[in-house]
Amino acid sequence: MLPFIPSGASVGLRILKTLYKGKSNLGKGTAFLADKAGKVGLTRTSKAITGASKKAHAGSRYVGKKMKKYPKSASAIGGAALWDFLPGRDND
């Protein structure tokens, strides 16, 4: 990273790269499982895996577009979710 970029921005970029790689690996993994299920003879299972994968991909694209359009709201929602998941808090 460039030295004049604050450390928070570099951490944010690293998180985005990791999320993109995870999403890519998830897509490849579901395609592999659907193919394997189809070859074994579980065609309905293969169709279900493929359909769920496509819906999840479409949903993540929709959320990504909304996050780009409304970055402050996305940040607030992300911060609230993080606050709820922090360890050491009594989440009743």
Across all residues in the chain, what is the average pLDDT? 77
Q: E strands along 3-58, which residues? A: none
Share of the chain above pLDDT 90, in %: 5
Q: Is the pLDDT of residue 90 over 70?
A: no
**Rounded CA gap, 90 and 44, in Å?**
43
pLDDT tens figures, 33-73: 889 989 998 999 899 988 988 888 888 888 888 888 888 88
Let me know if 34 is exposed, middle or buried by CB neighbors in 10 A (0-12, 13-18, 19+). Answer: buried
The model's pTM: 0.56
Per-domain residue ranges for the chain? 12-81
pLDDT of amino acid 31: 87
**Rounded CA gap, 75 and 67, in Å?**
8
